[in-house]
């Protein structure tokens, strides 16, 4: 309970700091864009495959967009709701931009050469249009949600029930083994197989949704943990 209260108080302070920064409070803005926060975001981007230059450029663009209007759109920090840590919000946004950057980079690498300008134009016409809210987590979270739901739908219902009893409801594997008339080792193997299947099917579905998306399982887990609306309102477009 104490931890929840502390987290709530921290979120309240972060919202107040964001509101102050958006009204021109330079001290609040400096606290948000601290050297520590800058270094952390750059380090995360480099860990996910960005070069030092790419990490620095993406982070600089992120800070610029946080406090200023961008092509008629409102400052990025106005999107922060306080449902999660501000650092997680900024990290998700930066990682989302890196994934989009790498995706476009890969796409351009597959384009025909300049000697075929008509084919070049056709190829760019085939690139899916980006939504207006390209700096939020929404697009990425939608893909995570869809991939995870597809993976869970492929799991055998009986084996999924066993995994839930052990991992969610905290039943002892020995108890579950007696309920099913299995050995405890069979229960353990079944749970491991389900989790591996969910991992593999999730990553395969992400690649199917977006072949240019370069995401590791560790990235997927981290993004799911930090997302505040992973299983919120479903997207209207299936």
Q: What is the mean pLDDT of residues 39-67?
A: 91
Structure confidence by residue, pLDDT tens digits, 227-236: 656 665 444 3
**156-174: string of b/e by CB count within 10 Å (b at 16+)?**
eeeebebbebbeeeeeebe
Structure confidence by residue, pLDDT tens digits, 130-152: 434 444 455 677 888 899 999 99
Cα torsion 154, 158, 164, 166: sign: negative
Q: At 44, list the tokens.
A: 């995360």
Structure confidence by residue, pLDDT tens digits, 181-197: 999 999 999 999 999 99
Enter the DSSP assignment of 113.
P
Kindly state whether residues 130 and 161 are assigned to the same domain: no
Residue 31 CA to residue 81 CA, distance in Å, equals 18
Question: Does 44 or 130 have the greater pLDDT score?
Answer: 44
Its pTM stands at 0.60
Question: Does 124 or 156 have the greater pLDDT score?
Answer: 156
Kindly state whether residues 65 and 152 are assigned to the same domain: no
Kindly state whether residues 86 and 37 are assigned to the same domain: yes
Domain residues for the domain of 175 are 142-238
Domain termination site, one of 136, 171, 198:
136
* Domain tally, the chain: 2
Kindly state whether residues 122 and 177 are assigned to the same domain: no
Place of tokens 């995870």: 148
- Reported in sequence order, the residue ranges of the chain that DSSP labels E, i.e. its strands, are none
Q: Given a cut of 90, is residue 200 above it in pLDDT?
A: yes
What CATH code is carried by the domain that includes residue 198? 1.10.10
Report phi then psi at 33, rounded to 5.
Answer: -95, 60
| pLDDT attached to residue 132 | 40
Domain termination site, one of 97, 112, 136:
136
Question: Does 64 or 113 have the greater pLDDT score?
Answer: 64
Structure confidence by residue, pLDDT tens digits, 206-224: 888 877 666 788 878 877 7
Q: What mean pLDDT, rounded, does the chain reach?
A: 80
| pLDDT attached to residue 11 | 77
| pLDDT attached to residue 135 | 43
Percent of the chain scoring above 70 in pLDDT: 74
């Amino acid at each position: 309970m104490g931890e929840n209260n502390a987290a709530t108080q921290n979120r309240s302070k972060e919202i107040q700091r964001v509101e102050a920064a958006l009204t021109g409070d330079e001290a609040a803005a400096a606290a948000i864009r601290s050297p520590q926060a800058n270094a952390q975001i750059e380090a995360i981007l480099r860990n996910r495959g960005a070069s030092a230059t790419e990490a620095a450029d993406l982070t600089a663009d992120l800070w610029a967009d946080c406090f200023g209007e961008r092509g008629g759109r409102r400052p990025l920090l106005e999107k922060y709701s306080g449902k999660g840590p501000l650092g997680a919000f900024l990290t998700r946004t930066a990682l989302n931009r890196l994934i989009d950057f790498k995706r476009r980079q890969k796409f351009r690498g597959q384009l025909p050469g300049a000697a075929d300008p008509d084919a070049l134009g056709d190829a760019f016409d085939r690139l899916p249009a980006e939504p207006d809210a390209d700096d939020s987590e929404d697009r990425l979270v939608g893909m995570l949600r869809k991939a995870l739901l597809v993976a869970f739908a492929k799991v055998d219902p009986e084996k999924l029930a066993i995994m839930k009893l052990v991992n969610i409801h905290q039943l002892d594997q020995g108890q579950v083994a007696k309920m099913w008339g299995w050995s405890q080792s069979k229960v353990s193997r079944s749970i491991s197989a389900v989790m591996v299947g969910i991992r593999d099917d999730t990553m395969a579905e992400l690649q199917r949704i977006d072949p240019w998306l370069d995401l590791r399982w560790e990235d997927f887990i981290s993004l799911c943990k930090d997302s505040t609306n992973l299983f919120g309102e479903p997207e209207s477009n299936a």
